[in-house]
Amino acid sequence: MALKQPIKTTTNAPAQSTDTAAALHLPPPQTFDILPALYELLARVDKHQNQTSLPGEPEGYHTLEGAPGDIGATYSKSNPSEHQQPLNPKDLPTAALEIKGLIRNALREVEKLPDVDRDVEEQEEEIGELEERVRRQREMLRGLAEVAKGMEGRLGG
């Protein structure tokens, strides 16, 4: 079965390195680590929702410690006073700009990956061609094994 179009994958070229990630120049995993930042942002909104005023405190003074349902109390990747300040939901779009930047960066890195522009049909066609190639190679190996057995019988080994 002849290939109708050249295979565009980089996996057909002989790899100079055994490390697949190094051969493909994959971005570091931290590029796609968006969930902790998103969780922290949402925890700040949750803190705003769960602020409680203690009796005897001046109006507008709230405590964050021991607030019921405080999901942000257990996670902070850096200085807790910097990132765990309560966030009013109306300020969420502005605070989400950093996360949007992380997402845009991750999307740019995904677009750089090989074959990301191929559709499912192209990939299925290539898989079928590769499976046919493997089938032919196995047949050839079986034929070579039979020849080797015949030669072994003739040589008396």
pLDDT in tens, the chain (157 residues): 444 555 555 454 444 444 555 567 888 999 999 999 999 988 888 877 776 545 555 544 444 444 444 444 444 455 444 547 888 888 889 999 999 999 999 999 999 888 888 899 999 999 999 999 999 999 999 999 999 999 988 887 6
Which H helix or E strand runs over 102?
helix 97-112
Alpha-carbon torsion angle 88, 93, 99, 102, nearest 10: -170
- Rounded to whole angstroms, the Cα distance separating 122 from 75 reads 44
Domain ranges of the chain: 27-53+61-117, 118-157
Quote the pTM value.
0.49
